[in-house]
Amino acid sequence: MTAESEPTGGETIDVSRLIDGQPVGRYQLLILLLVGLAIIMDGLENRLLPLAIPPLLKEWATTREAFALTTSVGLAGMVLGTTLGGMMGDRWGRRRTIVGSVLIFGAVTALHALASDVPVLTVMRFLAGLGLGGLMPSAASMFAELSPGRSRTLAVTIGMVCVPVGGVLSGLLGAAVLPTMGWRALFVIGGFIALAIGTILFLILPESPRYLARSSRDEDQQALRLILSRMGLQPGPGRIVDASEVSAARTAAFSELFAQRFRLDTLGLWGAFFFALMVLYMESQWMPTILTDRGYGIEIASIASSCLAFGGMFASVFGVYALSRLGSRVALMGMASGAVILTLGLTQLPMNPASSPLPLLILLTLVGFLVGGTQIMIYPVATHVYPTSLRSTGIGWAVGMGRIGSVISPFVATSALAAGGYRLFFIAMAFGMVCVVLSLWTIRRHVPVRGTPNAS
């Protein structure tokens, strides 16, 4: 079956109406699968260094604190990579940015195996962070722009869930490689897998149809028609455009994020990403340390870390349903508010290793569900807020603010633990989630309830 739109004024065809007018086909699914693999590799590569630190501590005879700067510099590289990647995606295309990002972090990750000391590893981690951060804005935009409007929230959410999937796979890879082949092999294998996927993307991945529709150049219009034909669409004669972009600027500019119609949404997204990622990194990076300090064994601490990750993964299923039924304002503010209540409740939980850990593990799973789920579900809001011409830039800067939150999370966590132990740590997490709620309240263009034309 093919779908056509009536040319506006007899001369133009709306690409959005074409894509929205039919279900997601096999070719679209193939493209989304390829982009999903790239996101999975982002999640996997981002977790390799924490897995390699224990053997590095022994081999290099150094302290755990020596790697604190390495971790922070890598996250700073992701901040810069995210903001630059967002602007590159809007100016040079989603395809180039996605392929380039994967090839960069794949190559640099493989080179980690050549590191001989912490300073060299720190430089490599910064370079890898540029690629890791640069991928996500264009990848999220690709998921949004290849999907019909009615299923866009589901598509973007599935894309973001690929990040924790990569985290789970990194643990399996580490368990298989580290005991027998060592940390250098871990980086080589992870890097070459990413390079292989980057090569496949270079050979197969097309540009986003909505991005191409912004251009009037003959070669771009021809490429767009070829992509649409592979999607089962046969537009009639005339120039193909994205009608929602007709009045938009031809190139994205940072200042547009603070134009009157986007100002509150931009500030709200920045705040939501900043505090959500700050809290997420606090729980994921420091919970094992808290539990071992309280006397729990490394097995329970590892299981607790897995509970947090699995909670976030399962939250995505609920989140898609909640967004379609309630809209993102109610659903996300409800999840973030639940996280506030639950983290405050953890301050009253006696962490006694002599008692059963089951209640603690259940509560941590719920914390991961609420905190991780909130963070994942902010992405569909960001893709909904901005038009195609500004989407990658807008997402890039918003996620970049989130990365800054992740960079400061170690300082917030260690300060709270030093001043008041695990109870103050959980209070700090609760305060961060209160800020998420307030930031979400600021956003005007929330994803609406399914079947309604506008957000509340």
Same topology for domains 7-245 and 250-456, yes or no? yes
Task: State residue 411's pLDDT score.
Answer: 79
Most confident of 39-48, 106-115, 292-301, 391-400: 106-115
At 429, is the pLDDT very low, low, confident or very high (cuts 50, 70, 90)? very high
Task: State residue 249's pLDDT score.
Answer: 44
Task: State residue 5's pLDDT score.
Answer: 39
Pull the structure tokens for residue 347.
């301050």
Task: State residue 38's pLDDT score.
Answer: 95
Task: State residue 119's pLDDT score.
Answer: 92
Give 2 or 306, the one with higher predicted confidence: 306
Spacing of C-alpha 364 from chain mean position: 21
- Per-residue pLDDT tens digits for 199-211: 999 999 999 888 8
CATH of 250-456, picked from 1.20.1250.20, 2.60.120.560, 2.40.10.10, 1.10.238.10, is 1.20.1250.20
- Per-residue pLDDT tens digits for 82-138: 888 888 888 888 999 999 999 999 999 999 999 999 999 999 999 999 999 899 888
Most confident of 97-111, 141-155, 172-186: 97-111
At 184, is the pLDDT very low, low, confident or very high (cuts 50, 70, 90)? very high
Amino acid making up residue 203: L
Averaged pLDDT, 278-299: 76
Judged against a pLDDT cut of 50, whether residue 3 lies above it is answered with: no
- Per-residue pLDDT tens digits for 217-226: 878 788 888 8
- Show the 3-state SS of the chain: CCCCCCCECCCEEEHHHHHHCCCCCHHHHHHHHHHHHHHHHHHHHHCHHHHHHHHHHHHCCCCHHHHHHHHHHHHHHHHHHHHHHHHHHHHHCHHHHHHHHHHHHHHHHHHHHHCCCHHHHHHHHHHHHHHHHHHHHHHHHHHHHCCCHHHHHHHHHHHHHHHHHHHHHHHHHHHHHHHHHCHHHHHHHHHHHHHHHHHHHHHHCCCCHHHHCCCCCHHHHHHHHHHHHHCCCCCCCCEEECHHHCCCCCCCCHHHHHCCCCHHHHHHHHHHHHHHHHHHHHHHHHHHHHHHHCCCCHHHHHHHHHHHHHHHHHHHHHHHHHHHHHHHHHHHHHHHHHHHHHHHHHCCCCCCCCCCCHHHHHHHHHHHHHHHHHHHHHHHHHHHHCCHHHHHHHHHHHHHHHHHHHHHHHHHHHHHHHHHHHHHHHHHHHHHHHHHHHHHHHCCCCCCCCCCCCCC
Parse the chain into domains and list their residue ranges. Answer: 7-245, 250-456
Judged against a pLDDT cut of 90, whether residue 195 lies above it is answered with: yes
Task: State residue 8's pLDDT score.
Answer: 43
At 247, is the pLDDT very low, low, confident or very high (cuts 50, 70, 90)? very low
Look at phi and psi of residue 159 and say left if phi exceeds 0, alpha if psi is from -120 to 50, else beta.
Answer: alpha
Judged against a pLDDT cut of 80, whether residue 180 lies above it is answered with: yes
Task: State residue 137's pLDDT score.
Answer: 85
Judged against a pLDDT cut of 90, whether residue 268 lies above it is answered with: yes
Judged against a pLDDT cut of 80, whether residue 410 lies above it is answered with: no
Give 174 or 363, the one with higher predicted confidence: 363
Query: In whole angstroms, what is the distance from residue 229 CA to residue 28 CA?
Result: 11
7-245 has CATH 1.20.1250.20 classification? yes
What average pLDDT is seen over the chain?
Answer: 83
Query: In whole angstroms, what is the distance from residue 226 CA to residue 220 CA?
Result: 10
Percent of the chain with pLDDT over 70: 91
Task: State residue 288's pLDDT score.
Answer: 66
Question: Nearest Cα to 404, choosing from 306, 257, 275, 288?
Answer: 275
Query: In whole angstroms, what is the distance from residue 89 CA to residue 392 CA?
Result: 6
Averaged pLDDT, 11-23: 76
Question: Nearest Cα to 218, choosing from 233, 240, 203?
Answer: 240
Most confident of 186-195, 304-313, 399-408: 186-195
Task: State residue 145's pLDDT score.
Answer: 82
Q: Strand 12-14 and strand 239-241: pairing? A: parallel
Q: Which of 42-46, 81-85, 123-127, 388-392 has the lowest mean pLDDT?
A: 388-392
